[in-house]
C-alpha cells in the first residue's frame, strides 16, 4: 500500500487545503469570473439568478459603496486552483434561497493570489480556502467569518448573523455572538491567543440550541491547529466533531483540521480522533444529498482516517465510491469549465487508487480545451510523476509554472525540483531549490508562507548534506 501513502503526500486536498482567477496581466484570462452571478447548478438543474452583483478586485470601491449604502461588505477570497471555491460560486451562491439577501449586502470578490491583493490579505488572512469575511464598512471590523464551503442554508445564516451584528446598536446580541465576533476579529488580526480565549468564552455562555455553534467549533478547532496545540486540538475534535454531523461541508473542514492534528500526536490519541471522524462522517452522510464537492470533502477525510487506522481495504472502497460520484458529476456538468472542480477532486482519488494513468488521459483532453488553466497542468504533472513518467511531468510542471502567479508559484516550482531530482538532474534541482527560496523570501507580508519557506530552506540544505 505504499502507493496510497505517496498519493496522499502529493495530492491530498490539492485544491483547497489548509495553509495555506484572474491571471497575470496579459496571461490567463480564462479564470476571471463574471461580474454578475448567474447560476448554473453544477451537478444538474435549471439556471437561476440570485441577483448578486460583484465588485471585482477593488476593495476601496466596494468599501465606499458599502458605506454609501450602509450595508455590510462581503469579501469572497478565492483562488483559481480551489475546487471548493468553484463549487461555491456555481452551486451555492447561485441558489434562489439567497436571492432575497442579494441586495442587502455589497459583494466583493478578491483573488487572494494576486500580488496587488497581498496587503488586503494581510488584514484579512486566509487559512482555509475559500474564506468569506463580512466587514462593517464604517469600522472595517470583522462581523463574521466563514471558513470553507457550506450549504446555501448555512451561508444564509452566516449573512443574517453578520447583518444582525452590524445592527447591534438597535438590536443587542447575545454574549455568545459578541464573543464569537470578537474572536473572529482577533483571528483576522493574527492574535491567536486572544482569539482562542474569546472563542472559549463564547462556548462557555452559548445556549445548547445556539445556531452558530458549528461556526464557533470550527473556529476553535482551526485556532488550536494554528497554534500547533496538537494534543489539545485532538481532544477537542473527539469531543466536538460529533456535534457537527448535520453540516457535511463544515464537518469536512473540521475533520481535516482534526486529521492534521492527529498526525502530530501519539498513536492512541490519533486512533481516537480517526475513529471519531469515521463515525461522524458516516452519520452525517446517511441519507444526505448534496453536491459532489460538498459530500466529497468529508468522504476524503474519512478515507485518510481509515488509512491511518490501518483499514486500507475500507479506504479503497471509500475511494471507489468517490470516483463514481465525481465521474457522474463530470458527466452531468454543462461545460468543461463547469466540470473543473470535479476533475480536480477526482484526480486525487484516481491517484489514491493507483489509476493515475486513466485520469491522465482525461485531463489531457481537459487541458486541450482549457489551455491556460495552469492548475490542470499542475495536476497532470503530479499524475505523470506518480506514473514515473518524469519527462512528461517536467513539461507539464514547467508550463504550469509559466502560467501561474502568486504564492502558488512557489509550490509548483518546489514540485518541479522534485521532478528534476527523480530525473537525476542535480544542477537543475539545486537551481530550482534556490529559486523557490528566493521566491518565498520576496513575497509581501500578506502572501508569506512560513512553513513553505522553512521547507525550502531544508530542501536546499539537504542537497549540500547529501553531496
418-425 contact pairs (CB < 8 A, 24+)? 418/385, 419/381, 419/385, 419/390, 419/393, 419/394, 420/394, 422/385, 422/388, 422/390, 423/390, 423/391, 423/394
At residue 62, the pLDDT reads 97
Question: Could you tell me which of 266, 335, 265, 331 has the C-alpha nearest to residue 90?
Answer: 335
**Does residue 115 or residue 14 have the better pLDDT?**
115
The predicted model scores a pTM of 0.84
Q: Quick one: pLDDT band at residue 4, thresholds 50, 70, 90?
A: low
Q: What percent of the chain stands above pLDDT 70?
A: 87
pLDDT at 18 over 50: no
DSSP-based helix, strand, coil % in the chain, nearest 5: 65, 10, 30
| pLDDT tens digits for range 452-466 | 888 899 999 888 777
Number of helices and strands in the chain (H, E)? 20, 6
How far lies 109's CA from each of 62, 76, 249, 308, 342, in Å? 10, 5, 21, 37, 22
pLDDT at 44 over 80: no
Q: For the chain, which domains are there?
A: 33-174 (3.40.30.10)
Place of cell 497554534: 227
Place of cell 488521459: 361
**Does residue 401 or residue 243 have the better pLDDT?**
401
Tell me if 62 sits within 8 A of 108, measured CB to CB.
yes
Supply 230's cell numbers. 496538537
At residue 374, the pLDDT reads 95
Amino acid at each position: 500500500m505504499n502507493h496510497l501513502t505517496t498519493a496522499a503526500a502529493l495530492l491530498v486536498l490539492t485544491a483547497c487545503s489548509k495553509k495555506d482567477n484572474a491571471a497575470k496581466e496579459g496571461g490567463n484570462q480564462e479564470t476571471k469570473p463574471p461580474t454578475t452571478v448567474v447560476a448554473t447548478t453544477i451537478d444538474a438543474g435549471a439556471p437561476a439568478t440570485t441577483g448578486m452583483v460583484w465588485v471585482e478586485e477593488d476593495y476601496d470601491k466596494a468599501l465606499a459603496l458599502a458605506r454609501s449604502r450602509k450595508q455590510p461588505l462581503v469579501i469572497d477570497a478565492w483562488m483559481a486552483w480551489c475546487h471548493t471555491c468553484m463549487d461555491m460560486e456555481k452551486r451555492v451562491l447561485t441558489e434562489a434561497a439567497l436571492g432575497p439577501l442579494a441586495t442587502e449586502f455589497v459583494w466583493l470578490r478578491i483573488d487572494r493570489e494576486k500580488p496587488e491583493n497581498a496587503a488586503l490579505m494581510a488584514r484579512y488572512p486566509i487559512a482555509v480556502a475559500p474564506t468569506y469575511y463580512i466587514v462593517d464598512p464604517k469600522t472595517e471590523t470583522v462581523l463574521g467569518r466563514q471558513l470553507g464551503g457550506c450549504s446555501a442554508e448555512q451561508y444564509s445564516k452566516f449573512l443574517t448573523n453578520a447583518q444582525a451584528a452590524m445592527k447591534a446598536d438597535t438590536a443587542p446580541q447575545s454574549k455568545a455572538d459578541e464573543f464569537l465576533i470578537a474572536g473572529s476579529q482577533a483571528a483576522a488580526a493574527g492574535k491567536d491567543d486572544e482569539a482562542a480565549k474569546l472563542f472559549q468564552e463564547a462556548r462557555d455562555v452559548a445556549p445548547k440550541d445556539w445556531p452558530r455553534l458549528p461556526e464557533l467549533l470550527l473556529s476553535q478547532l482551526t485556532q488550536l491547529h494554528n497554534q500547533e496545540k496538537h494534543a489539545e486540538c485532538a481532544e477537542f475534535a473527539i469531543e466536538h466533531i460529533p456535534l457537527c454531523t448535520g453540516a457535511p461541508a463544515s464537518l469536512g473542514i473540521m475533520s481535516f483540521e482534526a486529521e492534521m492534528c492527529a498526525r502530530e500526536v501519539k498513536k492512541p490519541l490519533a486512533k481516537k480522533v480517526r475513529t471519531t471522524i469515521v463515525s461522524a462522517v458516516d452519520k452525517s452522510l446517511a441519507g444526505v444529498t448534496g453536491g459532489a464537492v460538498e459530500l466529497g470533502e468529508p468522504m476524503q477525510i474519512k478515507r485518510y482516517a481509515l488509512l491511518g487506522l490501518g483499514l486500507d481495504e475500507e479506504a479503497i472502497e471509500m475511494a471507489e465510491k468517490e470516483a463514481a460520484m465525481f465521474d457522474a458529476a463530470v458527466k452531468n456538468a454543462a461545460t468543461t469549465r463547469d466540470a473543473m472542480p470535479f476533475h480536480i477532486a477526482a484526480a486525487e482519488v484516481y491517484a489514491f487508487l493507483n489509476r493515475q494513468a486513466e485520469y491522465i488521459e482525461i485531463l489531457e483532453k481537459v487541458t486541450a480545451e482549457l489551455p491556460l488553466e495552469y492548475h490542470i497542468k499542475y495536476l497532470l504533472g503530479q499524475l505523470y510523476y506518480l506514473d514515473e513518467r518524469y519527462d512528461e511531468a517536467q513539461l507539464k510542471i514547467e508550463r504550469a509554472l509559466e502560467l501561474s502567479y502568486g504564492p502558488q508559484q512557489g509550490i509548483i516550482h518546489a514540485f518541479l525540483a522534485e521532478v528534476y531530482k527523480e530525473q537525476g538532474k542535480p544542477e537543475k534541482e539545486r537551481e530550482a531549490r534556490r529559486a523557490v527560496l528566493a521566491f518565498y523570501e520576496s513575497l509581501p507580508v500578506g502572501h508569506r508562507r512560513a512553513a513553505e519557506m522553512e521547507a525550502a530552506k531544508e530542501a536546499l540544505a539537504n542537497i549540500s548534506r547529501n553531496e
